[in-house]
Amino acid sequence: MVTQEQIDGWKKQFGKIFKIRPAVDVEIIYRLVTRQDYIDIMAGAATGMVFDPELETVSRCILNDMDMDVLEDRGGIVTVVYEDIMKNSGFTLVESEEL
């Protein structure tokens, strides 16, 4: 169980944090991916040191204690959480209009 003290500490350390429920019985609290995280993960993927960039991103950003086997056991959870992390980290266009 995550306490308010933990949440406050994470907010102080990382700024914005988010909670997502990718399955009925799975709750994940995560921080945003930083530009440096992204560069490191993509560099690792290019050299073969990072096999799964989605999983690496999610693993770096998860803050709460959880059974990480869930990420492997249920094929879609990593992708759902990854997409939410990337959206909230500014990697998805929110709005665009022609002027």
pLDDT in tens, 13-69: 999 999 999 988 999 999 999 999 999 999 988 888 778 899 999 999 999 988 888
Structural domain boundaries enclosing 38: 16-88
Distance from chain centroid for Cα 89:
9
- Is pTM, for the whole model, over 0.85? yes
Q: 44: part of which helix (H) or strand (E)?
A: helix 35-47
| d(C-alpha 64, C-alpha 62), whole Å | 6
Q: How would you classify residue 48: left for phi > 0, otherwise alpha for psi between -120 and 50, otherwise beta? A: left
Residue 59 Cα distances to 15, 36, 52, 55, angstroms: 18, 15, 11, 6
In a domain, 63, yes or no: yes
For the chain, what is the domain count?
1
In a domain, 9, yes or no: no
In a domain, 38, yes or no: yes
- For residue 93, what pLDDT is reported? 83
